[in-house]
A and B are shown apart, each in its own frame.
Chain A
């Protein structure tokens, strides 16, 4: 594990990704302390102020304001909180159920495996954003349901990866040894086998954080996720669509926030994949 960490440290792009993520997380945690204004407080006399580097920009609203006079910087800072929350919860959901399903399926083999994996294939065969839309439409549009929808659509990705690793590990003698000493199936699957499947799982989790942020933004953009006035990045873009020609910063800045958060997780995920893959060594 230490060796792999040092491997990761030598990968400059992964470190860059890690730095972005750390900043993202710190911003999300300390949002109330660092944001200059209340993110949902409107100021009728400060509508559509440009960012500080444009003509007419002031240091009062460093990144300008939107059409209701809300401070964009503050909204972006609080938006980090929401994006982090959405990605953590939806990915945890998918991780938990996906791992459970994949591990049992891979260990049991036979007809259980067949049925479960065909169900996973069916879920995968839908475009996942469409599936998420269907789920949200059924449950009702709000942030909580968007998280559930994203979580469900991600389950097959985890299930497949875990099943593959479990199938591979099952061929090894230590699994037979665990059966020979009389360990029960729960112990064999979750205590003996699963820790050995962590490598691909960590990579998958990191990469899925990125897509969860993106998908949450997409759902909110479509009006199926966070509802106004919640400062969610995707919702911010949606609300400022009509302003793109008059005040492009209102739409561009949340777009950049999404870009950097997704980029950070993707860079780290790729770096982790390289670090954990023994074939990539030296």
Chain B
């Protein structure tokens, strides 16, 4: 779609464990391994889809990349600048370039603030002190996302879910960022509204040359919007490929199972692969070896003993499995 040669964001061995404390002295007794050694790169101008079941660490990965959560270890480079050792003020300035759109359009907007305050706040904290200047910018941004100047004085509860999501998008693009994490940005919306919001995201991408990390559990949506897709399972990326390639030729058994589980609008269609049974194992005690082996149809002895490496099987198509 666009020039994909330049790397915008590079994630290296990112780890995020949440400690579980217990006992009298609040010692760390265990940890939730939400993100475990994830590495990936995001090219300038592309949309990278990130899919996986609920609780597999997708959102945590997105938030840790933006340093909304401090990582346990690992590095993130934004335009070759390591962001996790930046001073607070430098980090604050960098936030102009990276933004986030949330899943829940109801909790993501402050109910006590008017729309003009919500969208104007990023401008204010980054130095646009003049009120009239800010109001003009807000009106302009509102028009960009398909709302109007007349909405400025209203409060979030006066809007529908789709409109609220547009307001959330307006806040994210207010600072003209280069990179936006869309954290399940359309999952809470009606299907018809989903389409509108996705198209809005695509239009904005072209207009402002944006790069997206598009987190979702909805495979068809990810296929539609993404250039490349990463599949995540229990804190690890198990497969990574160009969008068309991944959907046409999935290598990892988990990707296969996910694709099989996603509904197809054809009543006569017969499923070839059995959908997964059972639940995702607990991220507190992930299974040894390949994390997927407890639910994998291709499981062998080696799977519970060794961890498969993340190997490039085809050009730009990576997967972590012994039996491909």
Contact = CB atoms under 8 A, between A and B. Distances in A.
Interface string B98-109: 111011100111
B110 interface: yes
Nearest to B126: A182
Interface stretch (B89-97, B230-238, B270-278): B89-97
A240 to B, nearest CB: 50
B122 A173 contact: no
A183 B120 CA distance: 12
B122 A181 contact: yes
15 contacts: A174-B107, A174-B108, A174-B110, A176-B68, A176-B100, A176-B108, A177-B100, A178-B110, A180-B66, A180-B95, A180-B98, A181-B125, A181-B174, A182-B96, A192-B113
A159 to B, nearest CB: 21
A182 B103 CA distance: 20
Given A176-B100, A196-B112, A182 B92 contact: yes
Contacts, number: 60
Nearest to B98: A180
Contacts of A174: 107-110
Contact of B104 (A173, A181, A182, A187): A173
A196 B92 contact: no
Contact of A177 (B108, B111, B175): B108
A60 interface: no
A195 interface: yes
Contacts of A187: 125
Interface in A180-200: 180-184, 187, 192, 195-196
| Interface size band for B | 20 to 34
Contacts of A181: 95, 99, 121-122, 125-126, 171, 174-175
Q: Is chain B's binding surface mostly helix, strand, loop or mixed?
A: loop
Nearest to B112: A195
Nearest to B110: A174
Interface in A159-213: 172-174, 176-184, 187, 192, 195-196
Q: Of B110, B112, B125, B171, which is in contact with the most chain A CB atoms at under 10 Å from its CB?
A: B110
A178 B126 CA distance: 12
Interface of A: 172-174, 176-184, 187, 192, 195-196
Given A176-B63, A176-B102, 17 more contacts: A173-B107, A174-B108, A174-B110, A176-B108, A177-B109, A177-B168, A180-B66, A180-B68, A180-B100, A181-B125, A181-B171, A181-B175, A182-B93, A182-B96, A182-B122, A184-B125, A196-B112
Q: Is chain A's binding surface mostly helix, strand, loop or mixed?
A: helix
Contacts of A182: 91-93, 95-96, 122, 125-126
Contacts of B110: 174, 178, 192, 195-196
A34 B168 CA distance: 57
A173 B101 CA distance: 10
Contacts of B168: 177
Contacts of A183: 121, 125
In the A-B complex, the 5 residue pairs with the smallest Cβ-Cβ separation, listed nearest first, are: A182-B95, A173-B108, A181-B122, A182-B92, A172-B107
B266 to A, nearest CB: 36
Interface in B118-173: 121-122, 125-126, 168, 171
B152 to A, nearest CB: 18
A172 B113 CA distance: 15
A182 B99 CA distance: 10
